[in-house]
Structure formats: structure tokens, C-alpha cells
């Protein structure tokens, strides 16, 4: 088989395969007009000749075939599904995800534009037609406010999404390591002397991350002999009056949760943080140290979603994946003013670091802590 220092032309591949240049072009793009057996044969010959796909060129050519101007040739679509066009921007996590995705897209030669499902009157098929007509082949499905579904014409696109808010279809996704985050939070509170560590979390929010926060909390409190059913407060949504009633019944000395309003509710009830009860947030808005807890690396999560889409474009893949992949990004613990001013036990500090480093599975690495 001949080898070429440069990537072979369509004509070289066509001559080797005994087909037309048009057939080679369609085969390398996995076009359904070319029978699968023929596509695979041509692709195998192309690889032997040294052909490698160029994602920017591939997407540019897709746009050219759609008659689009050069400015739109490598556009990726960020699809939002909220009730309003900018509803997704109310979440600090979403904003950081978008910023990370936008930066990675620009670095890779793509452009990331927002599209709102409402502009298509909530009709995903119509939105699919709009994107396809504009020559857009890569889409990022932004986080849903509540878990939901979207029925795009998936065979036309390479796609990925965030966390577990998209119920169907199953796409490649990137997400925070919520399981490890919850374990780390319990371990760090344990390290500063807390023994009645409660979880106050809206079940609706936990469902968005496949209940991984609760799972991590339950495992860590069970492993350390701290588990008690009264310490778990997980209504569909948090309510101030109901929360305070739970607090007075359960009497936790520390609380793990996602809602910063908890600190305000406690203050209104005359309960001081951290003097009377410590608090660790599972989804900090910033890493200033005002609140202790986990700062999710949303920027890296957004960048990873772009990588997932770009990889599919590079491989000329379209449609729903046979084996959806999940990229898990570890968050970062931030010490803050909501923890007691107590020097933490170094063993538990070590454990919390190991939990993040091992994706929440550090118990086997630190057997001495369980003797």
C-alpha cells in the first residue's frame, strides 16, 4: 500500500478504492447514501493512505454545502430550554459552564452561539431545521432547570450535555463529582469535631445530579458511624419554616447543603453560624471563603462538553451514541468562615484530599482511619 507524507487527496483515495471522488467524500463523512460496507472499506483504505480528518475543514465544508457565509462555518450551538431566553443565566454554575465552553470553543477554532428553544416555539424539530440550515453540526444541550427531554433530529448532529438534567436521550455528558464532593464535605466537618452532621437538600436539585450528593453523604456518615435518619432533611424543595422545625428536632452540629439561604434562616431563628452550627456548601457561588464547601470546576466541565462534541466532529460521528460517556470533573474544597475556628484533625484532612483524588473511593487507601 502506498504511503504519503501529506494527507492523501480524495482523488488518491478514489483511485485506490475504485470509486468516484464524490463517493469518497460522502464515505468519509459517514453519509447514509453510501452503503455501510462500502463506507467502511473506503475509510479503511483512506486510513492506510494516511488520511486524517480535519474537524475545522469538515465543519467549514458542511457550512459551504449549506450555502453559509464564512463567519458561520464552524459554529456550535448552545441550546437553552428555560421558560425565558436568559433564564439559564440566573445560575452561577451555568454561567461558569458557558464561559468555560466558550473559551474552549474559541481555542479550538469554533464559535459558540446561544439558541433558545422558545425561538422555535418550543418545537425541537423546527430548531433542528434552523440549525441544520445554518450548517451547524455540533450542539451543546445546556442544563435544564428541571429534568426534561428534548427531541432534536439527532442523526444530524454531534451533541453532548451537562450532569443528569437531560432524561432522554442519553448523550455524552460532563459533570461534577458530586458523590466525592458530599463525602469530602462530611469528612472535613468531621475533621473539625462535628459529630451530628445533617444534610439539608432539596430532592429536586439532587435529582439533577442523579442523587449523587445524598449518596455520598449517606456513605460517608455510615462509614464513620455518624449516620442517623433524623439528620437527613430532603423535601422536594426547601422551605424556611419546615427547615427550622427539622433543625430543632434533629439538633445537628453541622449542615451540608446547596442553599445559601440556610445561613440566613438560621440567623433569623437566632442560631449562629459557625458558633452554634457549622455549614458546608456543596455548590459554592465563589471561592472567596465567605462560605466553606465545594467549588465546582464548572469552567472545566464546560470545556469538557466542547471536547466531547469536537471529538465527534473529528470522527464524523452524528446521532445518538451507542455507549454514552460521562466525563467526571472533581471540585475543590474551600475552607471558609462557616467552619468552627478549630484546627482540623490532619488524618481527616488527608482523607478528604484522598477522596477528591480518587473520585470518592478513598476508604480502601486509608484503612487506619477505620480501626
Residue 290 CB neighbours (<10 A): 15
> Which set of grid coordinates corresponds to residue 302?
464546560
Phi, psi (degrees; rounded to nearest 5) at 290: -60, -35
How would you write the pLDDT of the chain (371 residues) with one tens digit per residue? 344 446 788 889 999 999 988 888 888 877 767 888 888 899 899 988 888 766 555 555 555 445 544 444 479 999 999 999 999 999 999 999 999 999 999 888 899 999 999 999 999 999 999 999 998 999 999 998 888 899 999 999 999 999 899 999 999 999 999 999 999 999 999 989 999 999 999 999 999 999 999 999 999 999 999 999 999 999 999 999 999 999 999 999 999 999 999 999 999 999 999 999 999 999 999 999 999 999 999 999 999 999 999 999 888 889 999 999 999 999 999 999 999 987 777 776 777 667 766 666 655 444 443 33
Return d(Cα 102, Cα 301) in angstroms, integer.
12
Using H for helix, E for strand and C for coil, what is the string for 70-119?
Answer: HHHCCEEEEEECCCCCCHHHHCHHHHHHHHHHHHHHHHCCCEEEEEEHHH
Helix (H, G, I), strand (E, B) or coil at 52: coil
CA quadruple 135, 137, 143, 144: dihedral sign:
positive
Q: What residues form DSSP beta bridges with 255?
A: 198, 279
Q: Are 333 and 283 spatial neighbours (Cβ–Cβ below 8 Å)?
A: no
Q: How far is CA 367 from CA 34, 181, 292, 361, 363, in A?
A: 58, 20, 27, 12, 7
Q: Are 142 and 102 spatial neighbours (Cβ–Cβ below 8 Å)?
A: no
Q: Are 226 and 186 spatial neighbours (Cβ–Cβ below 8 Å)?
A: yes
What pLDDT, on a 0 to 100 scale, did the predictor assign at position 64? 43
| Helices 240-250, 261-268: crossing angle, 10 deg rounding | 70
Give the global pTM. 0.76
Q: What residues form DSSP beta bridges with 306?
A: none
Residue 166 CB neighbours (<10 A): 22
In order of their start, the domains of the chain are 1-52 (1.10.260), 70-176+299-329 (3.40.50.2300), 178-296+331-370 (3.40.50.2300)
Which residue in this structure is represented by grid cell 439558541?
115
What pLDDT, on a 0 to 100 scale, did the predictor assign at position 316? 84
Beta-sheet pairing, 232-233 with 197-200: parallel
Return d(Cα 148, Cα 361) in angstroms, integer.
30
> Which set of grid coordinates corresponds to residue 205?
436539585
Instruction: Name every residue whose Cβ is closer than 8 Å to that of residue 185 and which is 6 or more positions away in sequence.
Output: 217, 256, 280, 282, 293, 294, 333
> Which set of grid coordinates corresponds to residue 256?
451540608
Amino acid at each position: 500500500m502506498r504511503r504519503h507524507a501529506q494527507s492523501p487527496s480524495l482523488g488518491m483515495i478514489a483511485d485506490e478504492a475504485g470509486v468516484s471522488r464524490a463517493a469518497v467524500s460522502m464515505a468519509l463523512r459517514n453519509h447514509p447514501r453510501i452503503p455501510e460496507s462500502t463506507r467502511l472499506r473506503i475509510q479503511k483504505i483512506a486510513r492506510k493512505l494516511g488520511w486524517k480528518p480535519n474537524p475545522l475543514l469538515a465543519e467549514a465544508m458542511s457550512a459551504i454545502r449549506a450555502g453559509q457565509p464564512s463567519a458561520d462555518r464552524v459554529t456550535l450551538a448552545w441550546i437553552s430550554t428555560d421558560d425565558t431566553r436568559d433564564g439559564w443565566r440566573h445560575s452561577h454554575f451555568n454561567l461558569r459552564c458557558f464561559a468555560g465552553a466558550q473559551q474552549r470553543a474559541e481555542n479550538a477554532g469554533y464559535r459558540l452561539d446561544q439558541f433558545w428553544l422558545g425561538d422555535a416555539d418550543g418545537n425541537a424539530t423546527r430548531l433542528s431545521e434552523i440549525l441544520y440550515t445554518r450548517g451547524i453540526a455540533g450542539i451543546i444541550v445546556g442544563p435544564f432547570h428541571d429534568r426534561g427531554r428534548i427531541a432534536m433530529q439527532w442523526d444530524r448532529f454531534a451533541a453532548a450535555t451537562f450532569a443528569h438534567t437531560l432524561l432522554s436521550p442519553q448523550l455524552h455528558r460532563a459533570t461534577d463529582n458530586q458523590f466525592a464532593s458530599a463525602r469530602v464535605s462530611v469528612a472535613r466537618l468531621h475533621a473539625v469535631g462535628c459529630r451530628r452532621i445533617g444534610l439539608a437538600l432539596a430532592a429536586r436539585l439532587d435529582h439533577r445530579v442523579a442523587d449523587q450528593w445524598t449518596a455520598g453523604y449517606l456513605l460517608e456518615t455510615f462509614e464513620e458511624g455518624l449516620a442517623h435518619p433524623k439528620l437527613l432533611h430532603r423535601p422536594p424543595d426547601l422551605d424556611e419554616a419546615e427547615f427550622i422545625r427539622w433543625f430543632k428536632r434533629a439538633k445537628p452540629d453541622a449542615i451540608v447543603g446547596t442553599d445559601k439561604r440556610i445561613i440566613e434562616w438560621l440567623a433569623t431563628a437566632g442560631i449562629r453560624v459557625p458558633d452554634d452550627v457549622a455549614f458546608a456548601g456543596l455548590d459554592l457561588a465563589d471561592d472567596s471563603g465567605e462560605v466553606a464547601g465545594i467549588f465546582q470546576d464548572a469552567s472545566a466541565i464546560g470545556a469538557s462538553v466542547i471536547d466531547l462534541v469536537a471529538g465527534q466532529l473529528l470522527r464524523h460521528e452524528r446521532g445518538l451514541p451507542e455507549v454514552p460517556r460521562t466525563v467526571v470533573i472533581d471540585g475543590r474544597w474551600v475552607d471558609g468562615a462557616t467552619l468552627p475556628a478549630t484546627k482540623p484533625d490532619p488524618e481527616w484532612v488527608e482523607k478528604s484530599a484522598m477522596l477528591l483524588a480518587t473520585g470518592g473511593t478513598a476508604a480502601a487507601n486509608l484503612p487506619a482511619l477505620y480501626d
